[in-house]
A and B are shown apart, each in its own frame.
Chain A
Amino acid sequence: MTEDFAAAAEKDLPPLANAVNRRKQNKKFNKMYLFCWVGASIPLLGFLLFSGFPLVISFMAMFSDMERNNIDTMQWNDFANFIRFGTDERVWIALRNTVILACSQFVSLFIAIAIAAFLSQNVKGSRLFQTLFFIPYICSTVAVAVMWNNIFGIKGALNAILNTNIEWLNNMENPYSLTMAIFVAVVWKAPGYGIVMYCSAFKAINPALYEAASLDGANAWHKFRNITLPGIAPITFFLILSGFLAGLTIFDEATIMAPLSFDGYAGPEDAGLTMMYYIYVEGVQFSNMGYASVMSWFLFLITAIPSVYFIRKRMAEVEEM
């Protein structure tokens, strides 16, 4: 598919001129290659500068003590950060909360499939519903967290609706009501993107397949399992994996809905502490970037596992290029 301008230009020259200009052409080619290399590699250069260097520095920081996060004062610290990491209970609390919140992805996905399935049934105003359902997706996480803070408040709307008097966000007896509140805020915001994707995926499935299946005596469940599901599988994989990556790095909602208490806890029993939140607390608030780096690399390795799927798939696409 790819066409080469330089080669095309060469083809258009008369043969004689071509031979005479061969040396000139070579020079021009080299200039062209340089132009291509520079122009094409700027994004890669940006990555190497602004992600590569931080990667290297944070790798070194894992093994060091620093004064006030100044990397010039790095000193070997005999794996102290790793030893602390292995014995720090808060890491496991943060990891558990993060995984719980990342699993909200499945709920969002289920909602997206269900709503898109309903929208695909010759509904009048299907497009309008899609448009409306997308609005939460573009709302800022901070504002959404503030909104749900209010609704989950002791005098908030939820208690009025349920006719209860529960401190959802600060409940000593059941700290996990805070985690669940964050979970709700995340799920409320997320499905819009999936709804739009599934709607177009459903539309793209050839209606003749359903006709044929009906003639063969397939019922609705069979049609769903054998025609609809394979049709939406690629999108589902994409949404689950990208949702997991986003879920594992949740920070905004947690820090707004579970602000640090005066004694340094993110909600009762740290129920609102996520990995990114803990990295922020350690690295930025306590100026302990060495330890924060250990946690960052740990989180990176976890998020890299689902990414491997993407990498292999994309690389296969590039190979075909």
Chain B
Amino acid sequence: MKEQILSVSSGNGTAENRKPIRRSVPVASIVTYIVLFIYTVVLFAPFVIILFESFTGDVEIGSRPSFYLFPHEWTTEGYEVIFMLDPNAVNGVPSLLIGFFNTMWQTLIPLVGGLLTSAFSAYIFSKFRFPGKKVLFMATVLTMMLPMGAFGFVSYLFYMKLGWVGDAGVLPIIIPGLFGGAGTVFFLRSYFDSALSNEVLEAAKIDGAGSFRIFFGMVLPLAKPALIAQFLFGFVGGYNSYSTALLYLYPNKNMWTLQLALAELVSMVSQDGSGYANAQCASALLAMLPLILLYVFVQKYFIEGINIGGGKE
């Protein structure tokens, strides 16, 4: 632990006249803190900028010769535009609120359903032996490797044939997710292989517990860390997803998700791209805030999730 991995200032000198245990060089640590400080500023300055901009009046923004951080006159005009004058409001309910609510259920239903399906499949792949298992698993892993992202928009042809567009446009967002994902299966299977002891499962089996009871009573609770990681990253992905909602939900304002509502609100209020900059900034901040708050409370699980490999597939 004492040894530095990338020693900034220790490139000179030979090792003979050094002791194995060194004190850290002050210059190096000052440089380190300066770099980290600069990176922090670069990352968070945009948030600060749009936070102040969101409290600046539209007239002030329009009339000032160039940008300055602190508004001369603080105003909540931007937030009022979002909540009182929202052109996309349905029955007086602002679209961002509708979007938040829709995002919640449209994300959680396929996410939780899909996790259960994937976990069940992974459990079978991990703890049962049956003919054709290897072929089946290989096929599953192969589908996980295919980069299907390119077909996001042309899948519309298929869902249109099914009639899952227009008022039923929420179905392409919910139903496929319920079948689980190959990536999750792959990740959970290797987790089960290492974290679930066969002896415990066998004991339960001999005690007469059925496969489903073992799954819900033992497998799922034991897989909690892995499931939490998958859940959190799935939730972030669902919360932030935009293009699918744009494709299938656009005609139906009642079903808009938060990101779709945000994008539409911004393009409505800005008209030529410059009007109501305060409302644009306010809506972007409000859209990011719930997830950042969630993250602050459970950040430990995010970092752990990445470290056990649950973040990306």
CB distance from B292 to the nearest CB of A (A): 6
Residues on the B chain within 8 Å of A61, using CB: 154, 157
Is the C-beta of A273 less than 8 angstroms from some C-beta in chain B?
A: no
Q: A133 to B312, alpha carbons, bound, how many Å? A: 18
Residues on the A chain within 8 Å of B29, using CB: 121-123
Residues on the A chain within 8 Å of B243, using CB: 251-252, 276, 280
Closest residue of B by beta carbon distance from A146: B284
Q: Is the interface of A mostly helix, strand, loop or mixed?
A: helix
Closest residue of B by beta carbon distance from A301: B150
Q: A41 to B280, alpha carbons, bound, how many Å? A: 45
Is the C-beta of A86 less than 8 angstroms from some C-beta in chain B?
A: no
Residues on the B chain within 8 Å of A3, using CB: 127, 129, 198, 201-202
Is the C-beta of A83 less than 8 angstroms from some C-beta in chain B?
A: no
Residues on the B chain within 8 Å of A251, using CB: 152, 242-243
Q: Give the most central of B39, B45, B138, B211: most A CB within 10 Å.
A: B39
| Given A51-B148, A121-B32, A283 and B153 contact (CB-CB distance below 8 Å) | yes
Is the C-beta of A155 less than 8 angstroms from some C-beta in chain B?
A: yes
Residues on the A chain within 8 Å of B153, using CB: 276, 279-280, 283-284, 292, 296
User: Quick check: A220 and B211 within 8 Å, CB to CB?
Assistant: no
- Count of chain A to chain B residue pairs whose CB atoms are closer than 8 Å in the complex: 386
Q: How large is the interface on B (under 10, 10 to 19, 20 to 34, 35 or more residues)?
A: 35 or more
Closest residue of B by beta carbon distance from A74: B157
Closest residue of B by beta carbon distance from A298: B150
Is the C-beta of A18 less than 8 angstroms from some C-beta in chain B?
A: no
Is the C-beta of A151 less than 8 angstroms from some C-beta in chain B?
A: yes
User: Contacting A47 at CB < 8 Å: which of B143, B211, B292?
Assistant: B143
Is the C-beta of A46 less than 8 angstroms from some C-beta in chain B?
A: yes
Q: Is the interface of B mostly helix, strand, loop or mixed?
A: helix
User: Quick check: A69 and B193 within 8 Å, CB to CB?
Assistant: no
Chain B positions 135 through 167: 1 when the CB is less than 8 Å from some CB of chain A, otherwise 0: 011111111111111111111111011000000
Q: How large is the interface on A (under 10, 10 to 19, 20 to 34, 35 or more residues)?
A: 35 or more
Is the C-beta of B222 less than 8 angstroms from some C-beta in chain A?
A: no
Binds B, one of A88-96, A101-109, A171-179, A210-218: A210-218
User: Contacting A205 at CB < 8 Å: which of B5, B43, B149, B240?
Assistant: B5
Is the C-beta of A70 less than 8 angstroms from some C-beta in chain B?
A: yes
Q: A5 to B207, alpha carbons, bound, how many Å? A: 13
Q: Taking beta carbons and an 8 Å cutoff, which residues of A are in contact with B? A: 1-9, 12, 32-33, 35-37, 39-47, 49-51, 53-55, 57-58, 61, 69-72, 111, 114-115, 117-123, 127, 129-136, 138-144, 146-151, 153-157, 159-160, 165, 169-170, 188, 193, 196-197, 200, 202, 205, 207, 210-211, 214-221, 223-224, 228, 238, 242, 245-246, 248-249, 251-252, 255-256, 259, 275-276, 279-280, 283-284, 289, 292-293, 296-297, 299-300, 303-304, 307, 310-311, 314-315, 318, 321
Q: A47-B143, A140-B262, A251-B243 are in contact. List 20 more A-B contacts (CB 8 A).
A: A6-B129, A40-B124, A43-B143, A43-B180, A44-B136, A50-B176, A118-B36, A120-B6, A121-B28, A140-B291, A143-B288, A153-B273, A157-B45, A220-B6, A221-B11, A245-B147, A280-B243, A296-B154, A300-B147, A315-B141
16 residue pairs bridging A and B, Cβ less than 8 Å apart: A7-B129, A37-B132, A40-B133, A43-B121, A50-B175, A57-B158, A117-B5, A120-B5, A130-B303, A193-B311, A207-B3, A224-B6, A276-B243, A296-B150, A300-B147, A314-B144
